[in-house]
Structure 1
Amino acid sequence: MDKKIDYLGNLSGKILLFGGVYSNLQALEAMKQLAEKENIAPENCICTGDIVGYCAQPEQTVQLFKIWNPKSIAGNVEIQLREGAEDCGCDFRKGSRCDGFSQQWYPYAQSQLSKDSIDFIKTLPDHVTFNYAEKKVLVVHGSYFNTSEFIFKSTPWDIKAPNFEVNNYDVIIGGHCGLPFYDSKSDKLWLNPGVIGMPANDGTPLVWYAILNDKKGLLEYKHHTLNYNYKLTNNLMQNGLLPEEYARTILTGIWDNTEILPAIESGLQGFGIQL
C-alpha cells in the first residue's frame, strides 16, 4: 500500500510538537491553550499520532482536535481504527500486560467513536514533511518503515539512519515510544517530543512536548513539561471499563510495567527525564 505523505511546504515561526494524546481531553485542552498563549498557529502545531488511546474521552478528544485543527499523522491506533481492526496494532507481545490492557481500552475507544470521528481519522496521512530552518523534516509515528516500531534514545543509530536516507531528510520527528528524547549524529537529528496523554515514566504526572525555533537559519529545539487537570483525567478513567493501572499512572507518573523498554530506559523509571 502506498504511503500518504503530506508536504506542508516551508514553515516559519515557532513549531509546537506533541504526540500520544491517548483520548486525554484535559491534556489536549491544556496543549491547545498553551499554543494560543504562545501565538503558535494551528498549522504550526504537529502531532505524531495516537490521538486516541488509553484514556476515557476518545470522542470528545477527536472532536476538540478537529476544532483546533493542528496537523497530525496517523498513529498505529488510528490505522487500526480506520480499518475496523480488532486490536490496537501496537505489536505488544502476546499475553503481555500491555496486550491484556489493550484488550480493555481499545474496544472501549472503538465503541465510543462516532462515524464523524472515524471519517476524520481516515483523512490523516502516514507522514508529513516540511522545510524548516534550512532542514528537510519528516514526521513519523514509529519509523518510516513501520508505524509500530519502538525507537528510543538508546536504539542504535544504524537502525535510525535508514529513515533519513529515504529522501535525504535532516530531521526526523518521531512518536510512539512514549518518552521524550533527542539523538543526533553527523548533522542528523532524531527528535521525539514525548506524549501528552500519559506521563513519561518519570515519577511525575506532568507530560511532555517540544518547540522548534528558527534562529536565523539555525534549528533550535527544546523539550517542555505540561501541567493539566490530571486528577480529572484519573477520575474519568475509573469507569470500570478501562485499566485501573493506567488510571493510576496518570497520578503517579510511573508505568505499570516496562516490558516495551530497552534496559537503559527501563532503568531510568522514576528518576526523571534526562535531556
Structure 2
Amino acid sequence: MGQKIENLGKIPGKIILFGGIYSNLQALEALKQISEKENIAPENCICTGDIVGYCAQPEETVQLFKLWGAKSIVGNVEIQLRENAQDCGCEFKEGSRCDGFSQLWYPYAQSKLSENSLEFLKTLPNHINFQYAGKNITVVHGSYFNVSEFIFKSTDWEVKKPNFDATDSDVLIAGHCGLPFYHQEENKLWLNPGVIGMPANDGNPNVWYVILEDSNDLFNFTHHTLNYNFKLTSKLMQNGLLPEEYSRTIVTGIWDNTEILPTFESGLQGFGIQL
C-alpha cells in the first residue's frame, strides 16, 4: 500500500499534539475538554497514531475521535487492524512480555471494532505535513521510514537526521515510543508529545501532550500533563480479557517492564520525565 500524505497547509492558532490514545476513552474525553477550554479547533488537534491499543474501550474511543473531528495519522496498530493482520505490528521481541500481552489486547480490540470504525481507520494518512511559525513540520508515528521504529531521546542524532532530509522538514513530530521528549540539533527539532493512553513510566498516572503556539512568528512548544479519570480506566480493564499488568500501570504510572527501552530511559523509571 502506498504512503498517503495529508498536507494541511499553513495552520493558524494553537495546536494540540498527542499520541497513543490506546483505547483510553477517559483520557481522550479529558483532552477534548482541554482543547475546548483553550479554544483550539478540532482540526488543530493532531494525533501521532495508535488511537486503538491496550485499554478497554476501542470502539467508543474511535467513535469519539471521529465525532470530535481531530486529525490523526495511522500508527502500526491501525495499519494492522485495517488489514485484518494477526498481530499489532509493534515489533516486540518474540516471546517477550510485551509480545505476550499483545496476544491479549490486540485480539480484544479486533473483536470490539465495528465496520464503521474500521472504515474510518482506512481514511487516516501515513503522515501529515503542515507549516507553522515559518517551519515545515511532518508528523510520523515511529519514523518516516518505519512506522514501528522506536526512537527515544537517547537515540543517536545520526539515526534521526535522515528523517529531516527525506521530508524536507524543520520539525518532526513523532510517537510510538510512549515517552515525551525533545531533541534539538542543527536547527532541527525532534518532538515527541508523549501519549495519553498510558503513563510515561514516571511513577505518575497523569499522561502527556504538547501545545504549540505561534508567538510573533516564533515557534513555541510546551509539554503538559493531563489529569483524567484513570481509576475508571483501570477498573474497566479488569475484565478478565486484558492484561492485569496494564491496568495496574494506569494507576501506578510504572510500566510492567522496560524491554523496549534503551539503558538511559530504562534507568529513569519512576524518577519523573526529564525534559
Q: TM-score of the superposition, structure 2-length normalised? A: 0.99
- 1:154 matched residue in structure 2: 154
Q: How does 1:66-145 map to 2 (within 5 A)?
A: 66-145=66-145
Separation of aligned partners in 1, 2:193 and 2:39: 19
In the alignment, structure 1 residue 178 sits paired with structure 2 residue 171: no
Instruction: Give the fraction of aligned pairs with identical amino acids, expressed as a percent.
Output: 74
Q: CA deviation at 1:2?
A: 2.1
Separation of aligned partners in 1, 2:260 and 2:71: 27
| Corresponding residue pairs, total | 275
SS at match of 2:167: coil
- 1:11 matched residue in structure 2: 11
- 1:48 matched residue in structure 2: 48
Amino acid at match of 2:39: N
Q: CA deviation at 1:217?
A: 1.3
Q: Per-residue CA shift, 1:136-180, capped at 9, x if unaligned?
A: 000000000000000000000000000000132000000000000
- 1:226 matched residue in structure 2: 226
Q: Which runs of 4+ in 1 moved over 3 A?
A: none
Give the aligned CA root-mean-square deviation in angstroms. Answer: 0.5
Q: TM-score of the superposition, structure 1-length normalised? A: 0.99
SS at match of 1:145: coil
Separation of aligned partners in 1, 2:122 and 2:167: 25
Q: CA deviation at 1:121?
A: 0.4
Q: Per-residue CA shift, 1:197-249, capped at 9, x if unaligned?
A: 00000001000000001111110000000000000000000000000000000
Q: How does 1:195-210 map to 2 (within 5 A)?
A: 195-210=195-210
- 1:20 matched residue in structure 2: 20
Q: Which runs of 5+ in 2 are unaligned?
A: none
Amino acid at match of 1:13: G
Separation of aligned partners in 1, 2:149 and 2:253: 23
Amino acid at match of 1:196: I
- 2:163 matched residue in structure 1: 163
SS at match of 1:166: helix
Q: How does 1:252-263 map to 2 (within 5 A)?
A: 252-263=252-263
Q: CA deviation at 1:64?
A: 0.3
Separation of aligned partners in 2, 1:80 and 1:207: 25
Does 141-150 or 165-174 show the bigger shift?
A: 165-174
SS at match of 1:137: strand
Q: Which runs of 5+ in 1 are unaligned?
A: none
SS at match of 1:245: helix
- 1:273 matched residue in structure 2: 273
- 1:236 matched residue in structure 2: 236
Give the conservation status (yes or no) of the 8 Å contact 2:17–2:210. yes
